[in-house]
Amino acid sequence: MTPHIPEFDVIVIGAGGAGLVAAMAAAGEGARVLHCEKTSHIGGCWVPGIGNAGSLSGAQTLVQFDCGVFEDSPDRFYADCMRDLRAMSVCDAEILKFYCRHAGFAVDWLDRLGVFKKRDRKAAKGLFGEEWTVPRSYYMDHDFLEAVLAVYRQYVARDEIRLMLKTEVKSLLMDRGRVVGVVVETDGITRTIQSRAVVVCTGGFAADVDMVRRYNLPGTDIITTAAMPFATGDGLRMCREIGAGIVNTGATMVMGPFLSGVPDPERPGRELGMVNIACPGVLLVDLSGRRFINEDCGRLSLKLRKALLRRPDGATFAIFDHAALLGDGPVITGRSGEWVEEQAVKGRVVKRAETVWELARLLHLDESVLVNTVRSWNQQVDYGCDGEFGRSGPLRRLTTPPYYAVPLGLRVVASSGGPMTTTRQEVVGESGRVIPGVFAAGEVTGYQGYGTGMFNTGCVVFGKQAGRMAAREALGLRPKSLD
């Protein structure tokens, strides 16, 4: 290797939320920053219309105070997080405590940038099923990225951050056990760029179905993804290549998993439409052929997510009859009854049979169990109530052949699992020792913060910490934390 003559103090990989904050934090410490992004735009999932980028959480915020919430604290925030089994099983205690201590400051920083519309400047209980004991969740307008970019562009204009779009980082550069730069590809040309520190903020791997099966949902036949195409696990791969310890693989998905839509056999991981599970003539059954939930619960509900997680395979079938297909609304959103019939003829997406017994055989289910499930449902409809799961209706019998089934699976929007880090966001090797020169933040690190807005708030908390610590190491300053 040529002598290490760094062109930059810090290289930040990925220009999503965590990457933007990390680059600004590093530049704010006086570092010369190169910011690499493989796509043609910056913002990642923060770009309006791309991601679900509208929620935050944090304790002792100005929004809480304005709403009359004064009894919250970081300790209470942490205690509420740890009431959830997912946080207990996958969150490092010290990192989660750090998150809870600094989340409020992150919310206030975004608040000062004006990300809350007047109508949204309020504190609420958990937006996605979190059992907060006090209101500490906040919803932002989806245009909030522009508020952050207004600050970011000032650093770029002063040449304190040099942004390179359409620049894919292929690997981390190592010298004597230390990360000293990156290998990038731009316009088909590969080159080496050296630095004193690197921050990995490449996002997760939920767009790569094979990686989801490997790390999060092994043994699951049907997986669809709502993640953006750029979430391909680049950072996890690069960190593995340099010997980083990988944590939280096989852990409960950070968001979801949700019930999938109709899987597209031509494009693995993608969907052809969403089954309207609240349609009166649709039943959800598992691999035993039995119903397992109230179909009116909502496809994004915490109740349904927990029910799906109780079944490792995640396999679900949506069952309906011809009367449902001809009902008031489409059984599959955006698809006509004719389309369903066409797919049934092909037999790949929709299964069809003249009897429930034959349908069970097509699905490789126990025929008698599925027949009894449908018979029991029809009896309950006759009685006017769902005595098994409390579905409120309207209720419709399944008695009009032919009968249809759509195999469903698990739908992911984000991934869990990534390089182990310290509270300073240093990447830790399999040996348990810090790998000098490399830091990480954001979804690439797996599951660090918990609760509503953990990605948005976590991008700010951990992105700022990673950028500052990388800059201080690069500049030879004392590696103090945000505290």
Statement: residue 56 has pLDDT above 50: yes
pLDDT band at 452 (very low <50, low <70, confident <90, very high): low
pLDDT band at 142 (very low <50, low <70, confident <90, very high): low
- 432-450 mean pLDDT: 88
Statement: residue 1 has pLDDT above 50: no
pLDDT of residue 126: 79
Q: What angle do CA 198, 434, 77 make, to 5 degrees?
A: 90
Give the domain CATH number at 196: 3.50.50.60
Tell me the pLDDT tens digit for each residue of 328-378. Answer: 789 999 899 999 999 999 888 999 999 999 999 999 999 999 999 999 999
pLDDT band at 52 (very low <50, low <70, confident <90, very high): very low
Same domain, 399 and 421: no
pLDDT of residue 123: 92
3-class SS string, 249-314: CCCCCCCCCEECCEECCCCCCCEEECECCCCCCCEEECCCCCECCCHHHCCCCHHHHHHHHCCCCC
Is 14 in contact with 4 (CB distance < 8 Å)?
no
Statement: residue 275 has pLDDT above 90: yes
Question: How many separate domains does the chain show?
Answer: 2
Same domain, 430 and 392: no
Same domain, 317 and 189: no
pLDDT band at 449 (very low <50, low <70, confident <90, very high): low
Question: What span, in angstroms and rounded, lies between the C-alpha atoms of 22 and 24?
Answer: 5
Question: What span, in angstroms and rounded, lies between the C-alpha atoms of 458 and 103?
Answer: 7
pLDDT band at 50 (very low <50, low <70, confident <90, very high): low
Statement: residue 2 has pLDDT above 70: no
Same domain, 198 and 319: no
Question: Worst-scoring range by mean pLDDT, 13-27, 90-104, 150-164, 431-445?
Answer: 90-104
Name every residue whose Cβ is closer than 8 Å to that of residue 79 and which is 6 or more positions away in sequence: none
**pTM of the shown model:** 0.89
- Tokens representing 292 are 């397992």
Same domain, 297 and 421: no
Helix (H) or strand (E) holding 246: strand 246-247
Nearest to 323 by CA among 404, 417, 412: 404
- Can you give the length of the chain in residues? 483
Tell me the pLDDT tens digit for each residue of 158-185. Answer: 999 999 999 999 999 999 999 999 999 9
Q: Structural domain of residue 33, as residue ranges?
A: 8-205+415-474
Same domain, 153 and 301: no
Same domain, 12 and 150: yes
Statement: residue 3 has pLDDT above 60: no
Nearest to 283 by CA among 373, 180, 175, 190: 373
Average pLDDT of the chain is: 90
Q: 251 lies in a domain?
A: no
Same domain, 301 and 435: no
Statement: residue 398 has pLDDT above 60: yes
Q: 143 lies in a domain?
A: yes
pLDDT band at 254 (very low <50, low <70, confident <90, very high): low
pLDDT of residue 273: 92
Per DSSP, the residues of 347-366 read TSS-EEESSHHHHHHHTT--
Tell me the pLDDT tens digit for each residue of 66-108. Answer: 999 999 999 999 999 888 766 777 788 899 999 999 999 999 9
Same domain, 326 and 397: yes
Statement: residue 111 has pLDDT above 70: yes
